Amino acid sequence: MPPNPRTRIVRQLRGASGRLSTAATTRMESDLPWFAELGAEERSWIGLIVQAGIRDFIDWYKQEGASLSFSQTREASLFAPAPRALAGIITLHQTVDLLRLSFDVVEQNLDSIIDPEDLTDVRDAVLRYGREAAFAAAEVYARAAEVRGAWDARLEALVVDAVLRDETDDDVLSRASAVGWGARGNVAVVLGAVPDGQSEAGVVDAVRHAAQAAGMDALGAVQGHRLVVILGGVSDPEKAAGVIVAHFGEGPVVVGPVAADLGHAYLSAQAASAGLRAAVGWPEAPRPVLSEDLLPERILAGDEWARMEAVERVFEPLAQARGTLVDTLSAYFAHGAAIEPTARALFVHPNTVRYRLGQVADLTGLTPSRPRDALTLQLALALGRL
């Protein structure tokens, strides 16, 4: 009788565990600058965590890990090799980084360890275990801090990170609920700078209180110099962002489009993130500004999603409409946005041109006579033809 595939896979993984641990530690030395600054003892503790993590993943996978939850028993097995004092030496963010890097190394080396027909199943298990290990790290740090507020903040930051990475599953939704998310309808993501002179916890608390006062849910986290806020119960994203805009630092504040729920919030985050990168191209932008209002700047900055949006939302409705809206719009821009010369070039009455331009505005929400709308329309025409 052929061996059980899972038994064969476990044997292959165990045979390569030492090599995987060494490869992960080597990657830490090159990819994590803070790792090299630790003392020899601290680095050895981290090495033990890596070894324990790979060993525990193999045990978890052997026990049909894809269907098992990440229990506190597993959490203890993963972090037992390191003393509790390590939580005061490296931050939660650093711990999550080293866990993510370790399992990235495992995933990248699977091709040389696992048979091709087993790769998909093992990769899925690695991704789930790595995510659960990150949440386990948050819980370990929370207990070490012995402060409920700090636990909530760390867990909330990991929930926000999982949502933005499109890694939202039932476990993430459950943890979001644990930190106050009520799932009250449509969701939008707001991005901007972190205000100077305020703690991370203070900023997120202020945002949450302002959102709750306006009848919305809020999850927040500081990622580097960027404050990320996920708002729930949103009807108008611009108005929703206006409720919390005062709690951001100087510079643009960009809000993404409305998403159906927390599981799709990454779509809003993608647009908001692209808008924040491109906002420097429109110094006079309102604050907050919709990511869709930054469509020209996002296109010029190389945002592929913005290019697709311009074609789908602007060019295609014009191309599919009755009449010659694309030709009329092209002639209008070619003749300096003047009605009379456009009419003469098209051999039509000026009122016909006005009527067609009105149709353009109705179909796209963009008025050709407004400079910013004209820029968006011209870019959409060029992209559509390309």
**DSSP β-bridge partners for residue 230:** 189, 219
pLDDT(245) > 60: yes
pLDDT at position 279, please? Answer: 94
- Contact by Cβ (8 Å): 222, 204: yes
> What is the model's pLDDT at position 142?
62
What separation, in Å, do the N-terminal and C-terminal C-alpha atoms of the chain show? 59
d(CA 168, CA 251): 30
CATH topology for 182-293 is Alpha-Beta Plaits (3.30.70)
pTM: 0.61
Q: Find the range with the poorest average confidence among 121-135, 182-196, 218-232, 342-356.
A: 121-135
What is the pLDDT of the chain when averaged over all its residues? 84
Q: What is the pLDDT of residues 100-142, one digit of tens each?
A: 888 888 888 888 888 888 888 888 888 888 777 777 776 666 6
Provide mean pLDDT across the span 200-208. 85
Kind of pairing, strands 289-290 and 226-232? Answer: unpaired
Residue 289, pLDDT above cutoff 70:
yes
Q: Where are the domains of the chain?
A: 5-146, 182-293, 304-385
**Cα–Cα dist 244/229, whole Å:** 9
DSSP track, 65-122: GGG----HHHHHHHHTTS-GGGGGTS-HHHHHHHHHHHHHHHHHHGGGTS-GGGHHHH
The tally of CA atoms less than 13 A away on the side-chain side of residue 227 is 33
Segment 288-292 long-range contacts (CB within 8 Å, at least 24 positions apart): 288/190, 288/192, 288/238, 288/241, 288/242, 288/245, 288/253, 288/254, 288/255, 289/252, 289/253, 289/254, 289/255, 290/237, 290/238, 290/254, 290/255, 290/257, 291/254, 291/255, 291/256, 291/257, 292/257
How many residues comprise the chain? 386
Fold of 304-385: Arc Repressor Mutant, subunit A (1.10.10)
8 A C-beta contact, residue 45 and residue 66: no
pLDDT at 354 exceeding the cut of 50: yes
Condensed to tens digits (0 to 9), the pLDDT of residues 147-194 reads 445 556 677 888 888 888 888 777 777 778 777 787 677 999 999 999
CB atoms within 10 A of CB 330: 16
Q: Which of 41-45, 52-56, 78-82, 241-245 has the lowest mean pLDDT?
A: 78-82
Task: Please tell me the distance from the alpha carbon of residue 72 to that of residue 78, in angstroms, as a whole number.
Answer: 10
